[in-house]
Amino acid sequence: MSFSEKEKHFHHLGLSNSSLNWSRHLLMQRSQVTSLFGADALWRKGYTGAKVKMAIFDTRIRADHPHFRNIKERTNWTNEDTLNDNLGHGTFVAGVIAGEDAECLGFAPDTEIYAFRVFTDAQVSYTSWFLDAFNYAIAINMDVLNLSIGGPDYLDLPFVEKVWEITANNIIMVSAIGNDGPLYGTLNNPADQSDVIGVGGIDYSDHIASFSSRGMSIEVLLSAPSFYYGRVKPDVVAYGREIMGSKISTGCKQLSGTSVASPVVAGVVCLLVSIIPENRRKEIPDHPTQMIYHIL
C-alpha cells in the first residue's frame, strides 16, 4: 500500500468558461471546496455530521489539534510507539472531512473521528495491521471508512476478503483510485473492488485529472473471456487539485491527488449520513454508490 497524493504550490487557474458560478470563482481564490457541493445549505439546516462515526485509516492526528471538534479515539496498529501524525497525511485527510478552520473547512465538522494509525513514519504498512484495524472498526460499528491509500496487489486475498466483510457490515468504504493515470488499467486496490466507492480526481474545469487512475478492473480481465471487459472504475470523481486541508500542528496547506478527492467524497457521505435518523442508518442501500450517484 502507498499514499496517493501530490503536493503542489498554489497558482491561479485561468477561467475558460464565463458561465462558471460565483462559488467557482471563490474556490479559485483559495476558498472552500465545500462551496462547490452546497454543504453550507445543509449546515444552515443543522446537519453537520453529528453522531456519524468516521474511521480514517492513515497516519493519525494530534489529540489536541485545533481544527477538530470531535476526535473520539486514536489507535495505533503499527510497530512504532507513537500516537501522533509525523507525516501530515492523516491530518490533512481528516481536515478535508471534518476540519473547522476558516481557511480550510471540512464537510462535516461534528463527525466523530476515529483515527487509525496504520502507516509508520517511513510509510510502511502490512496486511496484518489492516486486518486487525478492520476488525476493530467492525466491532465498534463505524458508519464510514476512508482509505486515501492504495496498492496494485488485488490478489492479497485476506485483505480483499476483509474489505468484503467491512462492507457486509454496512460500513461505507471510500477509497482513492490511485495516481497512476492517465493510462487505463491503472486502478488501485481496494478502490477497484465492487463494494468500495472508488474515487477519481478532476480539476476545476471538470476534466479528469491526468494523474487519476482509471480503467476496467484488472482481476476480471485476467479471469474472464477476452470479450468481457470488467468493471468500470472509478465509481465517482471529485475535485482533487489544490484542495485545502489541515497541517500537522496548525494552519492549512494544499495537496493534489486522488487521496485528496477521496476525503472530499467521504466528507460528503458523512454529511449525508447525518441526515438519516440514527436507527435507520444501517438501512443504507446494499451498494452505497446508489446514494452517492443520487447526490453527485
- Given a cut of 80, whether residue 11 has pLDDT beyond it is no
Which pLDDT belongs to residue 15? Answer: 36
Say which CATH superfamily domain 39-295 falls into: Peptidase S8/S53 domain (3.40.50.200)
DSSP 17: -
Q: Rounded mean pLDDT of 250-275?
A: 95
Separation of alpha carbons 26 and 33, rounded Å: 9
**Of the candidate ranges 144-148, 149-153, 172-176, 246-250, the one whose mean pLDDT is the lowest:** 149-153
The answer to whether 178 and 208 have CB atoms below 8 angstroms apart is no
Q: Could you tell me the three cell numbers for 243?
A: 484542495
Which pLDDT belongs to residue 184? Answer: 85
DSSP 242: S
Number of other residues whose CB lies within 10 A of the CB of residue 123: 13
Instruction: Please report which confidence band the pLDDT of residue 285 belongs to, taking 50, 70 and 90 as the band edges.
Output: low
How much of the chain, in percent, has pLDDT values that exceed 70? 80
Helix/strand/coil for 239: strand
Helix/strand/coil for 117: strand
User: DSSP letters of 254-269?
Assistant: EEBSHHHHHHHHHHHH
The distance from CA 179 to its chain's CA centroid, rounded to whole angstroms, is 14
Higher pLDDT, residue 106 or 13:
106
Residues 6+ apart with CB under 8 A from 194: 217, 231
- Given a cut of 60, whether residue 267 has pLDDT beyond it is yes
- Given a cut of 60, whether residue 217 has pLDDT beyond it is yes
Which pLDDT belongs to residue 9? Answer: 30
Higher pLDDT, residue 101 or 19:
101
Q: Where are the domains of the chain?
A: 39-295
Note the residue count of the chain.
296
Give catalytic residues, as residue numbers: 58, 89, 259
The answer to whether 115 and 73 have CB atoms below 8 angstroms apart is yes
- Given a cut of 60, whether residue 237 has pLDDT beyond it is yes
- Given a cut of 70, whether residue 69 has pLDDT beyond it is yes
**Of the candidate ranges 13-22, 185-194, 264-273, the one whose mean pLDDT is the lowest:** 13-22
One-letter identity of residue 54: M
Condensed to tens digits (0 to 9), the pLDDT of residues 120-149 reads 999 999 999 999 999 999 999 999 999 999
The answer to whether 163 and 131 have CB atoms below 8 angstroms apart is no
Instruction: Please report which confidence band the pLDDT of residue 216 belongs to, taking 50, 70 and 90 as the band edges.
Output: confident
Instruction: Please report which confidence band the pLDDT of residue 31 belongs to, taking 50, 70 and 90 as the band edges.
Output: low
Higher pLDDT, residue 116 or 37:
116
